[in-house]
Amino acid sequence: MAWKWKYSHKEEMEDTSSRHPGLTGLQNLENTCYMNAVLQCLCSLPQLVEYFLSGRWNTALRTEIGESATAFGCLMSDMWLGDFDYVSPEAFHSVFGKQYPTFSRRTQHDAQEFLICVLDELHEAFKESSRHRAGAEARGSGSGTSIITQLFEGQLSYGITCLKCNTITDRPESFTVLSLPIPSRRVCSLQECLDCFFQPDTLTRNNQIHCYWCGTNQDATVKATITRAPQIIIFHLKRFAWQDKHRRKLSTTVDYPLQNLDLSPYSSTFSYNEVYSLCAVVNHAGDIDYGHYTAFCKHSTTKHWYSFDDVQVTKISDSAVQTDTAYLLFYTCQGY
């Protein structure tokens, strides 16, 4: 299938033109800033960029279900040509909307929900069939491996302790995005958000667990730990919360490090691969009904940070990356 794209030829503009590959804006198709921000972040990740630009994706593609992945690959290629101020994601939006009709409507959507759907769609398009997955069972995945699981999938273990007999059972769970609660205060740190997520929780009353050894429902504690850290870890800051039957946005400023994020306190085994550097951010400004999404991405070649606001691309300082509008944080492992 031949894809048709709309381009704007590069003009001479200070700090905003596509002087380098990977600095290409995306046209807003009417309320699609959520999509543009997520696509900019994904298309800035060095490991994913190399996978697509090298052509490896063509070999892995399951063509019968790979229409969205093909459109994504074509869009990635055009964004890294460096020949245009911006391109239109209309072809990707169209084919992706056929698979996920919710996103076909040009209304505001949640960037985190869109991100999860994109990762799921790419995984399905590139995952290896079971007959090609020697050792997959030992890995613990029943849904196949792909470039998405290789880069983004981590694993948690929930240790559940019965408070009557003290028996501990472990429940593994894979993840691609960690949704972190935000403490109720004006300013907090990402570390405090992580502390909230990984702190032990007590299950009582209607939340009791059924203890196999006791044979009845019992109070219990549950605590999560990271048993396998991914190459790229994505944090979703839970800014949208329910209060008195109304959904509201938390405006808490979350301080997050640009480098040396250490996840070893939350891991069952420490390794060097659990120290991370920030590589991309999805921001959400405004309120729930009238918000706008933008992205900050670190260029893999120049190592400079850039702001992507639909078609507008602007170089920014490292200090400007820290904002009170951060919604999704992409960290890449310093060991890779």
Kindly state which CATH superfamily the domain 25-128+145-333 is placed in. Cysteine proteinases (3.90.70.10)
Tens digits of residue pLDDT in 126-157: 998 654 443 333 333 446 899 999 999 999 99
Question: Going residue by residue through the chain (336 aa), what tens digit of pLDDT does each one get?
Answer: 333 334 343 333 334 444 579 999 999 999 999 999 999 999 999 999 999 999 999 999 998 889 999 999 999 999 999 888 999 999 999 999 999 999 988 788 999 999 999 999 999 999 986 544 433 333 334 468 999 999 999 999 999 999 999 999 999 999 999 999 998 888 999 999 999 999 999 999 999 999 999 999 999 999 999 999 999 999 999 998 766 667 778 889 999 999 999 999 999 875 556 799 999 999 999 887 788 999 999 998 899 999 999 999 999 999 999 999 999 999 999 865
d(CA 298, CA 319): 13
Query: Whole-model pTM?
Result: 0.89
Residue 246 phi/psi, 5-degree rounding, is: -120, 140
Residue ranges per structural domain of the chain:
25-128+145-333
> DSSP per residue over 27-49, as a string?
---SS-HHHHHHHHHHTT-HHHH
Q: 256: phi > 0 → left, psi -120 to 50 → alpha, else beta; which?
A: beta
Tokens (6 digits) for 34 = 């959520």
User: Strands across the sheet with 220-228, in order?
Assistant: 168-175, 154-162, 220-228, 201-203
Q: Which residues are catalytic?
A: 33, 292
